C-alpha cells in the first residue's frame, strides 16, 4: 500500500522495539554473547484506515501496549517506520513531534493513575489545550466544559472543581476520554480503556467511544486482551503474540475464519454469557515465553496443539489467507508452504 493512499491514516512498517538489559560491568566483560535484549516488538506491519477502529489483541506480554506507545512515539522505535498522514514520525525531531502530538492522543487503562490527584478535573482535562493552543483561560474553560458535558460529566461546572478521588471509576474514565478529545485529535490510541471500569459501566463507555468517533471523525487504535470487547467496537483486528503480528484482517473474517491456532485459542477462551451453551476452553498450556529468548521458528510452537517439526525450525511469514482479501496469517499449516502437513 502506498504512502499516498488517503484512506490510510497510519502505516506501520517493520516496527521493532528492543529494550537492552542492564548488565553490570563484570558480567559484560565475561560474557562472550551478544548483549541480551527484550524483544518487545519485532517487525510489526499494519495500516489503520481513516475513520476505522483497528484493534490490537493478545495476552499480556504480547507487545500490543508497546505498539500503541510507538505509534504515538511516546517511546522511540529501535527500527521501522510510523507514517502518520504521509509523514514518517519515526524520524521527526522532538520539536516537530511536539507539534504533531495535538493530532494524536492516548486513553490509558488506569484513569486514576493518569489523572493528577492534585489537579482539579477541569484543569486536568484542559492541560492539553493550554499546551497546544493560544486560548485564553476563559476560552479554555468554555472548551473544557463543553467537552465535559459531551462525555456525560454533567453539570460540567460542578465536576470541573472536583478532584480525581471524588469521582467514581466510570466518571474518571469519562474525564480521561474528555482530556484525550479536547484537543480534537484525529487518532486516539485507547489502551484497554474499559478494563478497569466496573462491569456495569463498560458498555456505556464503549457506546460513548463509538458516538465520539462518529461525531468527531476519529480513528481508533483499540488495544485489548478481550476479544469479546473487540468484537463490539473494532472494524479490523490484528492478533499479537510475543512481539509479532500473527493474524490481521476484517473483524468478521478473523472471527468467523480464524487462520492462526493462537487466534483460534483466544476465541475459544472467550466466555459465553449463556450457561446452557457454555463451551469456552482455556488457552493452550504454558505461559507466554520469555521475550528475551523467544522460541525458534514459530514463536507459538511450544504451545501450539498443531505444531509439526518445521514449526520450530522456520519462522512463518504473514501471508494472505486463501480466498480472502486483506486477511493475513502467519502459520505454516494455514497459509505457508507446508499446508500439506496440516491434519485433514
- State the residues that interact with ligand SF4 by CB under 6 A: 260-261, 298, 300-301, 304, 306-307, 311, 316, 331-333
Distance (Å) of CA 89 to CA 73, 190, 307: 7, 19, 39
Query: Between residues 122 and 261, which has the closer beta carbon with respect to ligand SF4?
Result: 261
Nearest distance from C-beta of residue 240 to ligand SF4, angstroms: 13
Nearest distance from C-beta of residue 173 to ligand SF4, angstroms: 36
Nearest distance from C-beta of residue 284 to ligand SF4, angstroms: 10
Nearest distance from C-beta of residue 292 to ligand SF4, angstroms: 20
Query: Between residues 128 and 336, which has the closer beta carbon with respect to ligand SF4?
Result: 336
10 Å CB burial of residue 1 (0-12, 13-18, 19+) is exposed
* Residues facing residue 82 across a β-bridge: 12
Distance between CA atoms of 165 and 169, rounded to whole angstroms? 9
The stretches of the chain forming alpha helices (DSSP H) are 25-30, 64-71, 94-100, 111-114, 121-132, 137-151, 156-160, 169-181, 199-216, 227-233, 251-256, 261-268
Query: Between residues 119 and 306, which has the closer beta carbon with respect to ligand SF4?
Result: 306
Nearest distance from C-beta of residue 245 to ligand SF4, angstroms: 13
Contacts of 219 (CB under 8 A, 6+ apart): 9, 10, 48, 49, 50, 51, 52, 53, 54, 186, 187, 188, 213
Query: Between residues 121 and 331, which has the closer beta carbon with respect to ligand SF4?
Result: 331
DSSP-assigned states of every residue in 223-241:
EES-HHHHHHH-SEEEEEE
Query: Between residues 169 and 294, which has the closer beta carbon with respect to ligand SF4?
Result: 294
Query: Between residues 220 and 300, which has the closer beta carbon with respect to ligand SF4?
Result: 300
Contacts of 13 (CB under 8 A, 6+ apart): 45, 80, 81, 83
Query: Between residues 275 and 343, which has the closer beta carbon with respect to ligand SF4?
Result: 343
Query: Between residues 114 and 334, which has the closer beta carbon with respect to ligand SF4?
Result: 334
Nearest distance from C-beta of residue 301 to ligand SF4, angstroms: 4
* Residues facing residue 244 across a β-bridge: 241
Nearest distance from C-beta of residue 316 to ligand SF4, angstroms: 5
Contact between 104 and 190 under an 8 Å Cβ cutoff? The reply is: no
Q: How far is CA 47 from the centre of its chain?
A: 13
Nearest distance from C-beta of residue 258 to ligand SF4, angstroms: 11
Distance between CA atoms of 15 and 141, rounded to whole angstroms? 39
228: its cell numbers: 469479546
* Helix (H/G/I), strand (E/B), else coil: 106: strand
Amino acid at each position: 500500500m502506498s504512502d499516498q493512499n488517503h484512506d490510510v491514516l497510519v502505516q506501520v512498517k517493520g516496527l521493532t522495539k528492543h529494550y537492552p538489559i542492564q548488565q553490570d560491568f563484570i558480567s559484560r566483560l565475561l560474557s562472550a554473547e551478544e548483549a541480551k535484549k527484550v524483544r518487545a516488538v519485532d517487525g510489526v506491519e499494519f495500516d489503520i484506515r481513516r475513520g476505522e477502529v483497528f484493534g490490537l489483541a493478545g495476552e499480556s506480554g504480547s507487545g500490543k501496549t508497546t505498539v500503541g506507545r510507538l505509534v504515538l512515539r511516546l517511546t522511540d522505535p529501535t527500527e521501522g517506520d510510523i507514517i502518520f498522514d504521509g509523514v514518517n514520525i519515526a524520524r521527526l525531531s522532538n520539536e516537530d513531534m511536539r507539534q504533531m502530538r495535538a493530532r494524536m492522543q492516548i486513553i490509558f487503562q488506569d484513569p486514576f493513575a493518569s489523572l493528577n490527584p492534585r489537579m482539579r478535573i477541569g484543569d486536568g482535562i484542559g492541560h492539553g489545550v493550554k499546551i497546544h493552543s493560544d486560548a485564553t483561560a476563559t476560552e479554555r474553560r468554555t472548551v473544557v466544559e463543553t467537552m465535559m458535558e459531551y462525555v456525560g460529566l454533567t453539570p460540567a461546572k460542578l465536576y470541573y472543581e472536583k478532584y480525581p478521588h471524588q469521582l467514581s471509576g466510570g466518571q474518571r474514565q469519562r474525564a480521561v476520554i474528555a482530556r484525550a478529545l479536547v484537543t480534537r485529535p484525529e487518532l486516539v490510541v485507547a489502551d484497554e480503556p474499559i478494563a478497569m471500569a466496573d462491569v456495569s459501566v463498560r458498555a456505556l463507555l464503549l457506546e460513548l467511544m463509538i458516538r465520539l468517533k462518529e461525531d468527531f471523525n476519529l480513528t481508533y487504535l483499540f488495544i485489548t486482551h478481550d476479544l469479546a470487547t473487540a468484537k463490539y467496537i473494532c472494524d479490523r483486528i490484528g492478533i499479537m503474540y510475543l512481539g509479532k503480528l500473527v493474524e490481521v484482517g476484517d473483524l468478521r473474517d478473523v472471527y468467523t475464519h480464524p487462520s492462526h491456532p493462537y487466534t483460534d485459542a483466544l476465541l475459544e477462551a472467550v466466555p459465553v454469557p449463556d450457561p446452557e451453551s457454555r463451551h469456552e476452553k482455556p488457552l493452550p498450556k504454558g505461559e507466554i515465553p520469555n521475550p528475551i529468548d523467544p522460541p525458534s521458528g514459530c514463536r507459538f510452537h511450544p504451545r501450539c496443539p498443531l505444531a509439526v517439526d518445521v514449526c520450530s525450525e522456520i519462522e512463518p511469514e504473514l501471508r494472505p489467507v486463501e480466498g480472502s482479501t486483506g486477511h493475513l496469517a502467519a502459520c505454516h499449516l494455514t497459509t505457508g508452504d507446508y499446508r500439506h502437513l496440516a491434519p485433514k
